[in-house]
Amino acid sequence: MKIKLPAFALLFLMLTPALQAQVGITSVPFLQIEPDSRAAGMGNTGVAIADNASAVFWNPAGLAFQRGNQVSITHSQWLPQFNADLFYDYLVGKYQVQDVGTFGAHITYLNLGEQLRTNEEGIEQGRFNSYEFSIGVSYGYQLNENWGLGTGVRYIRSSLFEGTLPGGGRSVSPGSSFGIDLAAMYKTNPFLFSGNEANFNAGINLSNIGPGINYTEEGRKDPLPTVLRFGWAFTTDLDKDGIHSLTLANDISKVMARSDSTGADGPFQALFSSWGSFERQTSQGSVELSTFEQFMVATGLEYWYNNLFAVRGGYYFEDPNNGNRRFITLGAGIRYDFVGIDFSYIYTLEEDHPLANTTRFGLLLDF
């Protein structure tokens, strides 16, 4: 993708998985990209499921109930509508230590392509590559048969541009920060539902609590996309033998950040200040968003046949003035021996939406 500066900064906000909640308020929105194909196929639900290595993203408390070791990788050509060389990769693994807990680690990488830099006269000044990545570790501990707690920490680096911008001569360099996750999960004991075995989970995860990112010495810090996510999942067998099973899940999430012309609230202050309504600028002018309109809602469904083959579907809704992500998701999965393969597809309800036709492929290896 070859574009010109200084238009790059504006275009970046439009192209990144922008269309995230509260566009323009947070930095590094790539941290909000849902990484695994399974949850993506279920409408981006996962906080109360979190039963594989990707619990590192959805809910690290889910690691507490997991046994064994696993490695998973997800790849996606990002925003295919733009026909640009953007791609997203996610590598995650988990490792159980008997009587200690389960540890997880991940690497997230978003490639933003090669950019062509020009001066104000349009003369080429060379090319550069833009990218963002994070690397982190997580831990889940099981308190008892029903409760688990989790936490995580990640290092974040955002390299959009390095050098001096034309015009004002402002020096720009890569920004970095760190984020912390705090999470909990509750799982019921198995119970009977319509004569078949069932269980119910509830989870909550507050992710990416940390200082903002600054790209210039004199510039203000933009807050991290701290996200509060909570939800539930209900799973039931559809027959006495447990060959057919069905899961219904629901996630509700909200970006816990505030920023205005005077600067951003601190990461802890924003946990309280972000609950009120706020005013933001849209293409139609100034709009005030109520607290309710700031929530993002995801609903997903998953059917398994004999723990070998799965089909998935879901729906994701975000207020039109708060990012306007509204889409249907489809997905499928296969499990055989120690190998699993997942696929997901996004069908947007708005024409020419940047997320239209986004696909994800995931590979899992159990040890």
Q: Is it the case that residue 198 has pLDDT exceeding 90?
A: yes
CA atoms within 13 A on the CB side of 367: 9
Q: Let me know if 25 is exposed, middle or buried by CB neighbors in 10 A (0-12, 13-18, 19+).
A: buried
One-letter identity of residue 219 = G
- Report the C-alpha gap between 282 and 280 in whole angstroms: 7
Tokens of 165: 């911008």
Question: Residue 327, CB half-sphere, CA atoms under 13 Å: how many?
Answer: 26
Band of pLDDT at residue 169, cut at 50, 70 and 90 = low
Whether the CB-CB separation of 325 and 295 falls below 8 Å is answered with no
Residue 58 has pLDDT above 60, yes or no: yes
Give dist(CA 37, CA 54) in Å, integer.
10
- Segment 283-292 shows an average pLDDT of 81
Can you give the pLDDT at residue 23?
46
The reported pLDDT for the residue numbered 81 is 67
pLDDT bin (cut points 50, 70, 90) of residue 67 is very high
Question: Could you say which DSSP state residue 165 is in?
Answer: -
Question: Mind listing the domains of the chain with CATH numbers?
Answer: 7-366 (2.40.160.40)
CA atoms within 13 A on the CB side of 175: 21
Q: Residue 54 gets which letter from DSSP? A: T
Work out the average pLDDT over 71-98: 87
d(CA 104, CA 93) in angstroms, rounded, equals 6
| Per-residue model confidence (pLDDT) at position 219 | 67
Give 216's contacts (C-beta < 8 A, 6+ positions apart): 170, 171, 172, 173
Instruction: Read off the pLDDT of residues 1-33 as tens digits, 9 standing for 90 and up.
Output: 333 443 344 334 334 433 343 445 788 989 999
Select the more confidently predicted residue: 247 or 3.
Answer: 247
> What confidence score (pLDDT) does residue 282 get?
67
Provide, rounded to the nearest whole percent, the portion of the chain with pLDDT above 90. 58
N-term to C-term CA, the chain: 39
Confidence of residue 302 (pLDDT cuts 50, 70, 90): very high
Q: What is the mean pLDDT of residues 270-289?
A: 80
